[in-house]
Structure 1
Amino acid sequence: MPLPLNPKSKIRLEKFATEGNPPYNFSQNPKLKRVVIGVGGGIAAYKVCELVSTLFKTGVEIRVILTRSAQEFIKPLTLATLSRHPAYTDDDFWQPTHSRPLHIELGEWADVLVIAPLTANTLAKLAYGMADNLLTNTVLASTCPVLLAPAMNTDMWEQIAVQRNWQQLLTDSRYHGVDTASGLLACDRVGAGRMAEPPEILVYIQSLLHTQGKRDLAGKKVLISAGGTREYLDPVRFIGNPATGKMGLALAQAALHRGASVTLVHGPANWDVPLGVQAIPVVSAEQMQQVMQEYLANADVIVMSAAVADVKPRDYSTEKLPKRSLPQVLPLEPVPDIVAQLAQLKQPHQLLIGFAAQTGDIIKPALEKLQSKKLDAIVANPIDQPETGFGSDLNQAIFLDKQGRQVEIAPCSKLQMAHQLFDFVKSF
């Protein structure tokens, strides 16, 4: 993690912000991830504050560039304070430096470059390779992945020229786009053009830092199950488990960011579906089975990360049962074994990956499941370790495959584990 500012550096930052004296310093720890964030002129610029603040807390080094129009919405001092480094403007671009031009230094320094909000004006410049300010010159002076988060009025976003520029830019493998959302815009219009929220942009940045922008799942269709299922006794009581679907969500995000077409079949969840993911909500194991089998034929990779119930009440009451009417012994019956059925139906070119949530010895039962259900790979998941498993933002596991490979994954974010799983299976 970057060290807090010492008094001298804080004084230097305040001096820079007020007098425009740019202390270009690119000699930080080379092991830290480096992100340059370009801020365009739009009301969505205020969202960048949350993005910068969160990135810094995760240990990422940040440099911020503001266009002239961006400064009408947000001040350089705000982003300089949040990033713990002076924010750059066009005034810095045209000043002589101590060594090399600023846009060259920034372009070579960055591991990922982000533009949020991306305006129609900057989009057009990038689409045609134009560079007339610090931000666009830095883009052309860099070779790292560029993440674009557009934001504009619905009519502007839907213009033929704007959509042509957007699609043209995304044909360049360097550029990655976060789809716009629909909702209430600052102009009081309700429609498309709303910038993606900071958490979604942050996840995409983390993916790009892992993959370095490679789309190694491009052209692939990935089918993922997530979350727990619920088997109801009556309208208010059910047999279930504490699965939240966060692991499946991370798998969907990772696959999407690596270029895949993603279908996510999930149980009841308390999170937003990523833009660009086809999501199909279900409740029971039977419903999940039906949807997974319906979409199986078109999938290249199937990841069964859902925590499916093993049994369900034999009888269901359409009305809530009075407490006195609840059975002392609840008759149960098994639910469909979804992953075993998928294994029987899958074709040789398809990969089927299962999950095994276990306590104690996790390898033996995972190997038994791998073999008995004829899976290509399985994730042995300890759920009795602190800060991992159900509901946690972190996870740890051992990956096993039918060739006998075993790879231990130390505790990490579920997004990191998702990417490591795709790294593991892409060599099949």
Structure 2
Amino acid sequence: MQSSANPKSQIPNPQSRRVIVAIGGGIAAYKVCELVSTLFKSGVEVRVILTKSAQEFVTPLTLATLSRHQAYTDDYFCQPIYFRPLHIELGEWADLIVIAPLTANTLAKLAYGMADNLLTNTVLASTCPVLLAPAMNTDMWEQVAVQRNWRQLLTDKRFHGIETGSGLLACDRIGAGRMAEPAEICVYIQSLLHTQGKRDLAGKQILISAGGTQEYLDPVRFIGNPSTGKMGLGLAQAALHRGAKVILVHCPASWDVPLGVEGIEVVSADQMQHVMLERLANADITVMSAAVADIKPQEYSTEKLPKRSLPENLPLAPVPDIVAELGKRKQPHQSLIGFAAQTGDIITPAREKLQRKQLDAIVANPIDKTDSGFGSDNNQAVFLDKQGREVEIPACSKLEMAHYLFDFLVGNW
């Protein structure tokens, strides 16, 4: 983890947000309508390119309406109304190109640098990152030639691939080849717009804890907190999109572990401590974002206690101090990041925790602010590290907060 000579580092200005969504010819094209609509509503400038085959599934008029801008097809490719070639204009305009669904045909063309339509010419005329969301029949996806083209294309640092899911496909086959859902693609887009395609965590292993532990009194009652684990989810997504290998140790949650992330579900603090200590040795950066309970019932009943049998005074016992134990065991080459959720003065207790638990950095976040902290999709915080840096992060999404934290840790500011 690098330090900065300037303890008052400021977060960078927001990046430009101009995205080309290029649609290939597959049934998954209908899902891209939701993606385009979501991007526009989030403030992203969107331009849409449709291949000839894509128009068999969705119409240019639909995409033009959703993007609030003309949708481009090969019919526009060589029209003389443009003072410069359209593919050059689009390629220079874009901050990011997303190809969804990516068909086997377009994949093969891109792998070998072929350009015979507006989509492929625009890719070759651009220098921005390209996000690929493949979709095809399982047998097609698993063909040796297709997998060779996929691996070959991803050796180019411009190209970022989002894994296919498994499930019931349009051909009634159950297997791999399902295009990632629009929400997952949208998250990856937000990441790439922030990082501009940098993979500054490539080769790193990131260990993250998430959610609120549950300390059970009996099979139906527990001591817990309102944490949903969304901050840990954002950290896992950001680290994955920056090239890291990610292990996410999480409590029960309403969200799914992202494709490409190793998820390990736990319930109690004891279980979380066991897994975190077991995985610590191979982690380059450990981020303890979970809200671990401070206490647990002293005794556990394997059967539900009748209401009349509940004790008036519940005997309590402490739970393991996971982050303190991690701080004792981490090696000099490893970084350990903690979180401090506070009300009122958030800086003083966070700075004390930073020193006492041998952390390299800490995220102090208020839980008494509107639309911030537990259960919210957004967060705000102050980052502090042992070198004395202190950076305030205004309210933003938890994914953005995660990226700002990794920027802070890897010295991008």
TM-score (normalised: structure 2): 0.96
2:94 matched to 1:118?
no
Q: Provide the residue aligned with 2:5 in structure 1.
A: none
The Cα of 1:395 is off from its aligned counterpart by 0.3
The Cα of 1:168 is off from its aligned counterpart by 0.4
The Cα of 1:95 is off from its aligned counterpart by 1.3
Q: Indicate conservation of the 8 Å contact 1:126/1:169, yes or no.
A: yes
The Cα of 1:302 is off from its aligned counterpart by 0.2
Q: Provide the residue aligned with 1:23 in structure 2.
A: none
2:282 matched to 1:298?
yes
Residue 233 of structure 1 aligns to a residue in which SS? strand
2:232 matched to 1:248?
yes
In 2, the alpha carbon distance for the partners of 1:381 and 1:241 equals 16
Q: Indicate conservation of the 8 Å contact 1:32/1:61, yes or no.
A: no
In 1, the alpha carbon distance for the partners of 2:15 and 2:223 equals 47
Residue 218 of structure 2 aligns to a residue in which SS? coil
The Cα of 1:97 is off from its aligned counterpart by 2.9
In 1, the alpha carbon distance for the partners of 2:207 and 2:244 equals 10
In 2, the alpha carbon distance for the partners of 1:378 and 1:98 equals 53
Amino acid of the structure 2 residue aligned with 1:256: L
TM-score (normalised: structure 1): 0.92
What is the aligned length? 399
In 2, the alpha carbon distance for the partners of 1:228 and 1:296 equals 20
Question: 31-40 or 113-122, which moves further after superposition?
Answer: 31-40
Correspondent of 2:180 among 181, 185, 196: 196
In 1, the alpha carbon distance for the partners of 2:58 and 2:78 equals 21
Correspondent of 1:171 among 140, 155, 163: 155
Q: Provide the residue aligned with 2:301 in structure 1.
A: 317
Question: 248-257 or 91-100, which moves further after superposition?
Answer: 91-100
Residue 341 of structure 1 aligns to a residue in which SS? helix
The Cα of 1:427 is off from its aligned counterpart by 2.6
In 1, the alpha carbon distance for the partners of 2:375 and 2:140 equals 40
Match runs of 1:334-353 below 5 Å: 334-353=318-337
Q: Indicate conservation of the 8 Å contact 2:249/2:276, yes or no.
A: yes
In 2, the alpha carbon distance for the partners of 1:244 and 1:294 equals 24
Match runs of 1:143-162 below 5 Å: 143-162=127-146
Q: Provide the residue aligned with 1:236 in structure 2.
A: 220
In 1, the alpha carbon distance for the partners of 2:77 and 2:167 equals 36
Correspondent of 1:58 among 39, 42, 56: 42
2:75 matched to 1:68?
no
Amino acid of the structure 1 residue aligned with 2:318: P
The Cα of 1:32 is off from its aligned counterpart by 4.8
RMSD, aligned α-carbons: 1.0
In 1, the alpha carbon distance for the partners of 2:405 and 2:81 equals 45
Correspondent of 2:348 among 348, 364, 377: 364
Amino acid of the structure 1 residue aligned with 2:406: F
Correspondent of 1:226 among 210, 232, 240: 210
Q: CA separation of 1:32/1:300 partners in 2, compared to 1, >3 Å: closer, same or farther?
A: closer
Amino acid of the structure 2 residue aligned with 1:227: G
Q: Provide the residue aligned with 2:4 in structure 1.
A: none
The Cα of 1:31 is off from its aligned counterpart by 7.2
The Cα of 1:236 is off from its aligned counterpart by 0.1
Residue 179 of structure 1 aligns to a residue in which SS? coil
Q: Indicate conservation of the 8 Å contact 2:103/2:136, yes or no.
A: yes
The Cα of 1:96 is off from its aligned counterpart by 1.4
Q: Indicate conservation of the 8 Å contact 2:227/2:374, yes or no.
A: yes
Q: Provide the residue aligned with 1:83 in structure 2.
A: 67
Correspondent of 2:242 among 244, 258, 261: 258
The Cα of 1:152 is off from its aligned counterpart by 0.1
Superposed CA deviations along residues 98-141 of structure 1, whole A, max 9, x for unmatched, are 31000000000000000000000000000000000000000000
Residue 43 of structure 1 aligns to a residue in which SS? coil
2:343 matched to 1:326?
no
- Flag as ranges the 4+ runs of structure 1 deviating above 4 A: none
Amino acid of the structure 2 residue aligned with 1:381: N
Amino acid of the structure 1 residue aligned with 2:159: Y
Q: Indicate conservation of the 8 Å contact 1:359/1:382, yes or no.
A: yes
Q: Indicate conservation of the 8 Å contact 2:338/2:359, yes or no.
A: yes
Q: Provide the residue aligned with 2:8 in structure 1.
A: none
2:168 matched to 1:184?
yes
In 1, the alpha carbon distance for the partners of 2:172 and 2:82 equals 47
Q: Indicate conservation of the 8 Å contact 2:153/2:159, yes or no.
A: yes
In 2, the alpha carbon distance for the partners of 1:224 and 1:277 equals 11
Amino acid of the structure 2 residue aligned with 1:415: L
Q: Provide the residue aligned with 1:277 in structure 2.
A: 261
In 2, the alpha carbon distance for the partners of 1:348 and 1:121 equals 49
Superposed CA deviations along residues 347-377 of structure 1, whole A, max 9, x for unmatched, are 0000000000000000000001000001000
The Cα of 1:272 is off from its aligned counterpart by 1.2
In 1, the alpha carbon distance for the partners of 2:288 and 2:270 equals 15
2:273 matched to 1:289?
yes
Q: Provide the residue aligned with 1:104 in structure 2.
A: 88
Amino acid of the structure 2 residue aligned with 1:380: A
Q: Provide the residue aligned with 1:423 in structure 2.
A: 407
In 2, the alpha carbon distance for the partners of 1:112 and 1:392 equals 28
Superposed CA deviations along residues 204-234 of structure 1, whole A, max 9, x for unmatched, are 0000000000000000000000000000000
Q: Indicate conservation of the 8 Å contact 1:32/1:59, yes or no.
A: no
In 2, the alpha carbon distance for the partners of 1:49 and 1:273 equals 24
The Cα of 1:166 is off from its aligned counterpart by 0.2
Q: Provide the residue aligned with 2:370 in structure 1.
A: 386
Residue 363 of structure 2 aligns to a residue in which SS? strand
Which structure 2 segments of 5+ residues have no match?
Answer: 1-13
Correspondent of 1:410 among 359, 369, 394: 394
The structure with higher relative contact order (CA 8 Å, sep 6+) is 2
Q: CA separation of 1:31/1:258 partners in 2, compared to 1, >3 Å: closer, same or farther?
A: closer
Q: Indicate conservation of the 8 Å contact 2:91/2:123, yes or no.
A: yes
2:194 matched to 1:210?
yes
Q: Provide the residue aligned with 1:95 in structure 2.
A: 79
Amino acid of the structure 1 residue aligned with 2:153: L
Residue 388 of structure 1 aligns to a residue in which SS? coil
In 1, the alpha carbon distance for the partners of 2:345 and 2:48 equals 48
Q: Indicate conservation of the 8 Å contact 2:15/2:193, yes or no.
A: no
